[in-house]
Structure 1
Amino acid sequence: MFEGLVAAAEGARGAGAIGAWARVENAACARRLAAAADVLERLIAEAGAVDREQWCIDNWTIAAAEVAAAQGVSLGVASHQLLLADDLRRRLPQVAGVFATGALTYRTVAAVAHRSRLVRDAGALRKLDTELATQLCGWATLSTEKLHTAIDTCVDRYDPAAVRRTEYAARGRHIDIHNPADGSGAATIDGTLVATYADALDARLDAMAAAVCAHDPRTAEQRRSDALGAIGHGAERLACACGRADCDAAAPTPSTVVVHVIAREDSLGDDTPAMLDGHVSYSQEPEPAGPAAIDPGYLMGKGLLPAPLLAGKLAATATHQPLIHPGQAGPEPRYRPSAKLAWFVRCRDMTCRFPGCDVAATDCDLDHTIAYPAGPTQAANLKCLCRQHHLLKTFAGWRDKQYPDGRVEWTSREGQTYTTHPGSRMLFPQLCRPTAPAIIDHTADTDSEGDASQARTLKMPRRKQTRTQARQQAINDERRHNQTIVDQLLAERNKPPPF
């Protein structure tokens, strides 16, 4: 079937080719999700899988790690895909069959899975699956809102308490901060707040923006933006940027928050002309700036900071800490690395070194690739791993090999291999110069393999309830809320007329 879709697409032209290749893409996506479901099923069928359900790094996380590494995506993205793959395999097999023909998009099947997830009765779910598999191809041109309405109508027909209701929108409140990889040094924020909190924040930003003197060069919107940054640093007011010695609002509030920036020394004194405050108006199209004269800095775990922004906004008030490459220095005598070595490893790696993970190095553990004491405490045997991936390596069968230039070769439970490089390789390649190779100490006093494995298992953080139990409880809670609404609507409808 898939080969037929490819052949039809290769023979199509123009708009017809677009639609034909879209069907190929949909069919390939269906097979990718089916492969992800296979990974989960094989894992659950293993001996010991039941015991792992109570682990913090449970069967689901282990499977999601395989899915994430295979695609170069984060664990969260992979977990979302795995949830959809599992729904299509266990709950919506007929919809999955239509998806495999290329007739449905990922957006459509994801909406179906999400909006039918509260259906609990097996008979109702089978009927819903049958109806949606029949109807979905005719809904291809619906907008997102209309598609959700159509799916909800079907769900309501078989299980009114399973309709996802707008009252639960507040449960989805969030704040996301995005650092685009455009080298601008600016980030965007979007999110959802409870309305009263949003009003309070809006008023607070206005008040802080208005507290500077009349000579501050920033616009009102720029001051509001900087005020939010000041709040992030624990400040109660926004420091005025007028630069006048007699300004009462100029002194900044001492920060209680630390952010880490890696930069070349010459970046801190960059004098490239740059207008960072005030209104900008061009009488004509500006000329391209051309290559930067000085390399940018890097905000740990976030992205680039152009040298003019770094010099103009941060350098004067920042604490400067020199970074020293360890060269061919030998291992340190203790398990815990010195502050100097730890800082070098974090700056070299920049993020977690597991495939697809971008947790900042400052939020990671320092892992001995070859376990201490057999493995030495030195740069060639240390790397950054976030807590989840550190536990995953320790308990879930992943193997790793590290090289003096910081490269790490990973081998997954299923035998797939992946290579990750230090995050500094592009921006600060000098940090990736080879260090002294790690030499295994075969005389080190270590536990037997069996004893060590048992000790690790005892140290694995455990869940109060399994992931399945937590999901079922959330479904039951939402259904109970929905049933109350349904009962109220029925009671209102069945009231006797007022005459």
Structure 2
Amino acid sequence: MTTTADLDSPAGVLDAVREQHQIESTASIEKFRLAVEWAVMHPAESVVHAAMVDGTEDELAIAGPGAPLVAEFCVAELALALGMSTDAGKRYLGDAVETRYRLPRLWSRVMRGEVPVWKARQIATRTIGLPEDAAGFVDQHVAPVAHRCSYAQIDRADDHARDLYDPDEAEARRAEQAEHRHVDIRLGDVTTDGLVYIEATTDLADALAFEAQVAAKAHDLLGHHPHLSLDVRRSMALGHLGDGIARELVIHTHHDTSSTDGLVRVDNTGSWITVEQLGEWCQQEHTRVTIRPVLDLNEHLHTDRYQPTERLREQVIQTHPTCVFPRCERPSRRCDLDHTVEWPLGPTDSVNLVPLCRGHHRLKTHGGWTYQRTGHRTFDWLSPHGITYRRT
């Protein structure tokens, strides 16, 4: 073990770094192995009786064909023990089971410390969708060089195995890639200057048409903003592509007029902007501004019905931006609203409603998990094994 005295020289610091790296590597290997042990302790057979009785818990395929199935509800508690969300824990457990049962050569190298766990997970993630013999092909060809192969080499091996052993799926997969087109406006990552990142994947033809429109609009803006760079004008062009078409600006803001900082909080994104920035947005040509009643998050709203009113639902969503299960980050707008005390024993009101995503709602209803609200935005969850996890 490195002592404080050893750290008085560069060589001593390097020795300490190597020592800590070895400790971390050994711990990551053991954690990967223990994940498989957890899966073995929760086989699909353990839920057969419950599934036959009321269908509340299913068997879960977390790895590829030929790997063992596990009990659906075993994932959440392992994930929290790993310090992960349920989804991330499911991926971790799946990668461990995939490596152990479908990539045995790779597993052996991981257990010997010859291939890092993170590299094995990259390979396992790619082989989970392959037939069993195709996964074996990848294991045979990639495992011996896994410690030095690149992501591109792993992808090529995966594609080659699919072409050889499942050509129909390979063709379907190529067609499916075209459906992965998307536009992501990252409102959750707004900078303090009110800037938002946008990324997209489109067909080449659509990309070329979009580029032509952005370039043309950026050129048009040159006459009005000759002092701005091309990059800035291209950014501004995005907001002008719909010129001539009325647009509605829907934002929820809070501004303390007694404050001297001149900042406005935007609830939609959890960010701050200046009063001037808000004014510019509202004064842009063809923008329609609608003033709506203020939604007080501290107001106590209620209804005698099971379903919340639109105003109550919006208040709960604004109060809790995500599912309230520990480490879950699913946006509350995509969640169920759960009565913490079951209705009609518990009311439909501001205090008794919280968002739970569908998976964690099922976990609470059928998986033996319970929770209670211990503060305005604090919840204590009790697992089936008696462990308490706090979500703040």
**TM-score when normalising by structure 2:** 0.72
Letter in 1 for 2:261: A
> Is residue 385 of structure 1 aligned with residue 356 of structure 2?
yes
Q: Give the Cα separation in 2 of the matches to 1:310 and 1:378.
A: 35
Deviation at 1:319, TM superposition (A): 3.2
Letter in 2 for 1:265: H
Contact residue 335 and residue 377 of structure 1 kept, 8 A:
yes
Give runs of aligned pairs for residues 206-221 of structure 1, distance below 5 A: 206-209=215-218, 214-215=223-224, 220-221=230-231
1:225 alignment counterpart:
235
Contact residue 263 and residue 272 of structure 2 kept, 8 A:
no
Deviation at 1:87, TM superposition (A): 0.5
2:247 alignment counterpart:
254
> Is residue 345 of structure 1 aligned with residue 316 of structure 2?
yes
Change (3 A) 1:88 1:353: same
2:88 alignment counterpart:
77
Work out which of the residue numbers 273, 295, 303 in structure 2 matches 1:306: 273
Work out which of the residue numbers 117, 121, 125 in structure 2 matches 1:110: 121
Work out which of the residue numbers 231, 239, 242 in structure 2 matches 1:237: 242
Change (3 A) 1:296 1:131: same
Contact residue 297 and residue 318 of structure 2 kept, 8 A:
no
Give runs of aligned pairs for residues 397-416 of structure 1, distance below 5 A: 397-403=368-374, 405-416=376-387
Deviations 1:191-225 (CA, angstroms, capped at 9, x unpaired) = 43221121122223334445668335765533433
1:92 alignment counterpart:
103
1:396 alignment counterpart:
367
> Is residue 293 of structure 1 aligned with residue 261 of structure 2?
yes
SS in 2 for 1:297: strand
Deviations 1:68-87 (CA, angstroms, capped at 9, x unpaired) = 44445444433332321220
Give runs of aligned pairs for residues 264-303 of structure 1, distance below 5 A: 264-266=254-256, 293-294=261-262, 296-300=264-268, 302-303=269-270
Q: Give the Cα separation in 1 of the matches to 2:200 and 2:364.
A: 33
1:44 alignment counterpart:
44
1:242 alignment counterpart:
none
> Is residue 204 of structure 1 aligned with residue 209 of structure 2?
no
Deviation at 1:382, TM superposition (A): 1.1
Give runs of aligned pairs for residues 58-69 of structure 1, distance below 5 A: 59=60, 62-69=73-80
SS in 2 for 1:266: coil
SS in 2 for 1:29: helix
1:486 alignment counterpart:
none
1:26 alignment counterpart:
25
Q: Give the Cα separation in 1 of the matches to 2:277 and 2:37.
A: 48
Deviation at 1:401, TM superposition (A): 0.6
Which residues of structure 2 form unaligned runs of 5+? 63-71, 284-288
Q: Give the Cα separation in 2 of the matches to 1:349 and 1:32.
A: 33
1:470 alignment counterpart:
none
**TM-score when normalising by structure 1:** 0.59
Letter in 2 for 1:378: D
Q: Give the Cα separation in 2 of the matches to 1:26 and 1:65.
A: 25
Contact residue 67 and residue 78 of structure 1 kept, 8 A:
yes
SS in 2 for 1:403: strand
Higher relative contact order (CA 8 A, sep 6+): 1
Deviation at 1:141, TM superposition (A): 4.7
1:480 alignment counterpart:
none
Relative to its length, the structure with more strand (as a share) is: 2
Change (3 A) 1:310 1:74: farther
SS in 2 for 1:26: helix
Contact residue 57 and residue 391 of structure 1 kept, 8 A:
no
SS in 2 for 1:225: helix
1:439 alignment counterpart:
none
Pairs aligned (count): 364
Deviations 1:309-363 (CA, angstroms, capped at 9, x unpaired) = 7524446635343122556x58542222334433332222122212222233333
1:161 alignment counterpart:
165
Of all paired residues, the percent bearing the same amino acid is 24
Change (3 A) 1:174 1:344: closer
Change (3 A) 1:121 1:142: closer
Letter in 1 for 2:232: Q
Q: Give the Cα separation in 2 of the matches to 1:55 and 1:201.
A: 48
Q: Give the Cα separation in 2 of the matches to 1:347 and 1:107.
A: 37
RMSD, aligned CA: 4.4
Which residues of structure 1 form unaligned runs of 5+? 1-6, 231-235, 239-248, 271-291, 422-499
Q: Give the Cα separation in 2 of the matches to 1:195 and 1:330.
A: 50
